[in-house]
Chain A
Amino acid sequence: MGEEALESPLPCRKRRWVREHRGVTATVSPLEQLSEALRTELGAKAVTDLSRLSGGASRETWSFKADDRPLILQRQRKGDIRDMSVEARVVQAAFDAGVPVPELIANGSGDIGLAFMILSHVEGETIARKILRDDQFADARTKLVAQSAHALAALHSIDASTITGLPSIDQVQQYRESLDNLNEALGQAHPTFELAFRWLERNRPTSTRTALVHGDFRLGNLMVGSDGLRAVLDWELAHIGDPIEDLGWLCVRAWRFGASQPVAGLGDYDTLISEYEKASGLKVDREVVRWWEVLGTLKWGIMCMIQTSSHVLGMSRSHELAAIGRRVCENEYDLFVALDGKW
Chain B
Amino acid sequence: MAMPHDVPTAAQLIESVREWLEKDVLTSTTGRVQFHSRVAINVLAMVERELAVGGQQALDHAARLAVLGMKDDAELATAIRNGDLDDRFNEVVELVRASVLDKLAVANPSYALPTLND
Chain A residues with a Cβ under 8 A of chain B: 183, 188-195, 197-198, 319-320, 322-323, 326-327, 329-330, 332-333, 336-337, 340, 343
A105 to chain B, nearest CB (A): 34
Question: Would A191 and B80 count as touching, CB distance under 8 A?
Answer: yes
Report, as a range, how many residues of chain B touch the other chain: 20 to 34
Question: Would B36 and A319 count as touching, CB distance under 8 A?
Answer: yes
Question: Would A329 and B73 count as touching, CB distance under 8 A?
Answer: no
Question: Would A319 and B39 count as touching, CB distance under 8 A?
Answer: yes
Question: Would A194 and B77 count as touching, CB distance under 8 A?
Answer: yes
Scan residues 35-89 of chain B and give those whose CB is less than 8 A from a CB of chain A. 36, 39-40, 42-43, 46, 72-74, 76-78, 80-81, 83, 86, 89
Question: Would B39 and A337 count as touching, CB distance under 8 A?
Answer: no
B1 to chain A, nearest CB (A): 26
Known contacts A319-B36, A319-B39, A343-B93; A327/B81 CB under 8 A = no
Question: Would A337 and B107 count as touching, CB distance under 8 A?
Answer: no
- CB-CB under 8 A from A330, the residues of chain B are 104, 107-108, 111
- B3 interface residue per 8 A CB criterion: no
Question: Would A189 and B77 count as touching, CB distance under 8 A?
Answer: yes
Question: Would A191 and B77 count as touching, CB distance under 8 A?
Answer: yes
Scan residues 1-48 of chain B and give those whose CB is less than 8 A from a CB of chain A. 36, 39-40, 42-43, 46
The contact sample of 8 A-B pairs, CB cut-off 8 A, is A183-B77, A190-B77, A198-B89, A319-B36, A323-B43, A332-B100, A337-B116, A343-B90
Q: Point out which of A190, A320, A326, A343 has the most chain B C-beta atoms below 10 A from its C-beta.
A: A326
Question: Would B39 and A323 count as touching, CB distance under 8 A?
Answer: yes
Question: Would B39 and A195 count as touching, CB distance under 8 A?
Answer: no
Q: How far is the CA of A326 from the CA of B73 in the complex (A)?
A: 16
Measured CB to CB, the nearest residue on chain B to A334 is B111
Question: Would B104 and A189 count as touching, CB distance under 8 A?
Answer: no
The residue from A183, A192, A197, A322 contacting B96, defined by CB atoms under 8 A apart: A192
Give 20 A-B pairs besides A190-B73, A198-B83 with Cβ atoms closer than 8 angstroms. A189-B72, A189-B76, A191-B80, A192-B96, A194-B76, A194-B77, A195-B80, A195-B93, A198-B81, A319-B39, A320-B36, A320-B39, A327-B108, A329-B103, A332-B103, A333-B100, A336-B97, A336-B116, A337-B113, A343-B93
- CB-CB under 8 A from B113, the residues of chain A are 337
- CB-CB under 8 A from A197, the residues of chain B are 81
Measured CB to CB, the nearest residue on chain A to B107 is A326
The residue from A189, A327, A337 contacting B74, defined by CB atoms under 8 A apart: A189
Question: Would A322 and B43 count as touching, CB distance under 8 A?
Answer: yes
Q: How far is the CA of A285 from the CA of B104 in the complex (A)?
A: 32
Q: How far is the CA of A24 from the CA of B92 in the complex (A)?
A: 73
Question: Would A194 and B89 count as touching, CB distance under 8 A?
Answer: no
Q: How far is the CA of A26 from the CA of B106 in the complex (A)?
A: 60
Question: Would B80 and A333 count as touching, CB distance under 8 A?
Answer: no
Q: How far is the CA of A223 from the CA of B86 in the complex (A)?
A: 45
A163 to chain B, nearest CB (A): 36
Question: Would A333 and B43 count as touching, CB distance under 8 A?
Answer: no
The 6 A-B pairs of least Cβ separation, nearest first, read A189-B77, A329-B103, A194-B80, A189-B74, A326-B107, A189-B73
- CB-CB under 8 A from B81, the residues of chain A are 194, 197-198
- CB-CB under 8 A from A188, the residues of chain B are 73
Question: Would B99 and A191 count as touching, CB distance under 8 A?
Answer: yes
B50 to chain A, nearest CB (A): 9
Question: Would A333 and B93 count as touching, CB distance under 8 A?
Answer: no
Question: Would A192 and B76 count as touching, CB distance under 8 A?
Answer: no
Q: How far is the CA of A330 from the CA of B105 in the complex (A)?
A: 10
